[in-house]
């Protein structure tokens, strides 16, 4: 959990749109287990950086039946995509030779290299934050724009600072007690002498944020 900063007055679930099934990691000879699953039948787009050679076998199921596909790298392209669809991905078996500093990742795909995005939980449920109604007041930083209407007030979520994670524009914040959803419009660091101790996150109710 982040640095203690002030009394929390709200518990939230923090979500982010992502297509990653396996977040970028160092390749392991023992293979990899996905961090999350596709939300619909998807191809699997596997990326191995820095010119790897060899194969990765993607294993999983489709409609309850076991399926797999072998992808091959020849040191030219970093990206390969299965033609096989998966609704569950169980493992990526790694038979690659890779360069120092290489990363492997996998995304849910919709064919032709296009990723399929879904909302995944980053923090919470029960993540403590301080919520403030700030309207259009305050300095003009991204997400706190001049001329913002008081009819749809901005909300500011003050979140304890973490070096391993940063809120970002487009995140969805759900207030656990009410189910109200907010879309993040802007983020900045605040407080601290040598490093920040808070994230200040401006957001607006999601129903008022269509088209942003």
For the cut 70, the answer to whether the pLDDT of residue 151 exceeds it is: no
- pLDDT tens digits for 91-111? 999 999 999 999 999 999 987
- Sheet strands side by side (includes 43-48): 20-25, 104-109, 43-48, 79-81
pLDDT of residue 208: 55
pLDDT of residue 152: 57
- Closest to 172 measured CA to CA, from 2, 47, 12, 6: 12
Q: Which residue has the higher pLDDT, 148 or 136?
A: 136
Could you tell me the end-to-end alpha-carbon distance of the chain, in angstroms, rounded to an integer?
Answer: 30
Chain mean pLDDT for the chain: 86
- As a whole number of angstroms, the distance between CA 116 and CA 145 comes to 31
20-116 folds as Jelly Rolls (2.60.120)
Give me the half-sphere count of Cα atoms (radius 13 Å) on the Cβ side of residue 145: 9
10-16+120-208 folds as Elongation Factor Tu (Ef-tu); domain 3 (2.40.30)
Name the pLDDT band for 59 (thresholds 50, 70, 90). very high
- As a whole number of angstroms, the distance between CA 100 and CA 119 comes to 32
Domain edges within the chain: 10-16+120-208, 20-116
Beta strand 88-97 pairing with 53-62: antiparallel
Average pLDDT over residues 154-166: 89
- As a whole number of angstroms, the distance between CA 92 and CA 80 comes to 13
Phi/psi at 56 (nearest 5 deg)?
A: -130, 130
- As a whole number of angstroms, the distance between CA 4 and CA 43 comes to 42
């Amino acid at each position: 959990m982040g640095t203690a900063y002030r009394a929390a007055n709200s518990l939230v679930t923090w979500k982010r749109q992502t297509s990653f099934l396996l977040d970028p990691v160092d390749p392991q000879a023992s293979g990899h287990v996905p961090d999350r699953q596709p939300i619909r039948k998807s191809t699997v787009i596997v990326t191995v950086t820095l010119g790897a050679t060899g194969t990765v076998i993607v294993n999983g199921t489709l409609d309850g039946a076991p399926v797999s596909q072998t992808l091959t790298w020849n040191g030219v392209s970093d990206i390969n995509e299965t033609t096989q669809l998966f609704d569950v991905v169980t493992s990526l078996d790694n038979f690659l030779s890779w360069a120092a500093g290489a990363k492997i990742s996998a995304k849910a795909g919709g064919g032709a290299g296009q990723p399929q995005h879904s909302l995944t939980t980053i923090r919470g449920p029960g993540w403590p934050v301080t919520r403030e109604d700030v309207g259009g007041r305050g300095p003009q930083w991204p997400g706190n724009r001049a001329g913002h209407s008081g009819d749809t007030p901005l909300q500011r979520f003050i979140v304890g600072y973490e070096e391993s994670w940063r809120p970002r524009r487009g995140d969805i914040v759900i207030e656990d007690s009410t189910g109200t959803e907010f879309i993040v419009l802007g983020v900045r660091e605040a407080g601290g002498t040598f490093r920040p101790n808070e994230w200040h996150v401006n957001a607006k109710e999601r129903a008022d944020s269509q088209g942003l």
